[in-house]
């Protein structure tokens, strides 16, 4: 994604919870950084979920500083650069990431030599919790998109799903993406697990916030349909045949070719 000429919108999801929403000039792709604000301390502190690219992280840092808020903690949903590269903008902040993050980080360094990727300072395992001001966060290991992928349940009714579901700015569905170390079967299992969780608000780094669990179930089932069609056909079907809706309703259908490579590795 080209980060030049990008715009930022700050959206209040709930009291002291914000989505910093980035879109590029003539680019429908979305990136987000979510911020939980602890105002019980002076100065107020921010816990950031993902840091996006450095250019975006700089915009968030500037906004926080202008509002007298100090970045305190960074939580990473997974290792991809559009979620982690901005960590360098927040030196000294503890970085919380999956126990599998370090393995994936080595791959990412090879793919993106121009970025400086920082190691985690705190390791998160499935079921671990973290309290920050009025926020209580429970972490769920949710592999599939990547091995180190995490979901975060905030105050028992807000769910940050990372890249298990992705959209464009126009709400067009982004095809699931199985990256190196990811898995079709694990992606399906993680999507099914979402359906067992209690939440009312879904936070999506590449998409708008969803309110109401019922609205998300159709989107989850749409991804499961695609993943199962590819998996059960052993990758022999063309992408259009694997989709629940007409192919014109999907963005980044080129991910299908990458997914097939990962399927061969998985098989």
pLDDT at position 112 is 65
pLDDT at position 72 is 98
At residue 120's C-alpha, the angle toward residues 117 and 125, to 5°, is: 135
Cα–Cα distance measured from residue 156 to residue 80, given in angstroms and rounded to the nearest whole number = 26
pLDDT at position 51 is 97
pLDDT at position 111 is 66
What architecture is domain 7-266? 4-Layer Sandwich (3.60)
pLDDT at position 180 is 86
**Secondary structure (DSSP) of 186-246:** HHHHHHHHHHHS--SEEE-TTSPPEESHHHHHHHHHHHHHHHHHHHHTTT-S-GGGG-SS-
Cα–Cα distance measured from residue 253 to residue 80, given in angstroms and rounded to the nearest whole number = 19
Cα–Cα distance measured from residue 233 to residue 253, given in angstroms and rounded to the nearest whole number = 18
**What would the two tokens of residue 89 be?**
């903008």
**pLDDT tens digits, 242-255:** 999 999 999 999 99
Report residues of the chain scoring pLDDT below 70: 1-5, 25-27, 108-109, 111-116, 267
Residues 132 and 47: beta-carbon distance below 8 Å: yes
Cα–Cα distance measured from residue 164 to residue 21, given in angstroms and rounded to the nearest whole number = 18
**pLDDT tens digits, 112-137:** 666 567 889 999 999 999 999 999 99
**Secondary structure (DSSP) of 58-71:** HHHHHHHHHTTEEE
Residues 80 and 56: beta-carbon distance below 8 Å: no
Residues 77 and 205: beta-carbon distance below 8 Å: yes
Q: What is the pTM of this model?
A: 0.94
Q: Across the strands, what pairs with 31?
A: 22
SS3 call for 23: strand
Sequence-distant (6+) residues with CB within 8 A of 129 are 136, 137, 138, 139
Cα–Cα distance measured from residue 133 to residue 135, given in angstroms and rounded to the nearest whole number = 5
The gap between the terminal CA atoms of the chain, to the nearest Å, is 30
């Amino acid at each position: 994604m080209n980060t030049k000429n990008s715009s930022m919108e700050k959206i209040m999801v709930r009291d002291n919870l914000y989505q910093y929403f980035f879109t590029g000039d003539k680019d429908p792709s979305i990136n987000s950084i979510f911020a939980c604000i602890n105002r019980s301390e002076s100065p107020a502190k921010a816990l950031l979920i993902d840091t996006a690219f450095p250019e975006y992280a700089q915009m968030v840092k500037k906004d926080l500083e202008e509002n007298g808020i100090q970045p305190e903690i960074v939580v990473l949903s997974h290792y991809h650069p559009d979620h982690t590269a901005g960590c360098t903008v927040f030196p000294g902040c503890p970085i919380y990431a999956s126990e599998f993050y370090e393995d994936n980080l080595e791959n990412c360094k090879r793919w993106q030599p121009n970025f400086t990727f920082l190691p985690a300072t705190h390791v998160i395992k499935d079921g671990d919790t973290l309290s920050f001001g009025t926020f209580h966060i429970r972490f769920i290991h949710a592999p599939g998109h990547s091995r180190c992928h995490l979901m975060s349940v905030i105050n028992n009714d807000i769910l940050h799903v990372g890249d298990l579901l992705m959209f464009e700015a126009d709400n067009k569905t982004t095809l699931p993406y199985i990256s190196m170390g990811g898995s079709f079967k694990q992606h399906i299992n993680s999507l099914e697990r979402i359906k067992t969780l209690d939440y009312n608000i879904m936070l999506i780094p590449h998409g708008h916030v969803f309110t109401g669990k019922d609205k998300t179930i159709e989107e989850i089932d749409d991804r499961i349909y695609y993943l199962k069609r590819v998996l059960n056909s052993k990758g022999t079907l063309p992408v259009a045949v694997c989709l629940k809706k007409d192919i014109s309703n999907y963005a980044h259908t080129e991910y299908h070719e990458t997914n097939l490579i990962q399927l061969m590795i998985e098989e």
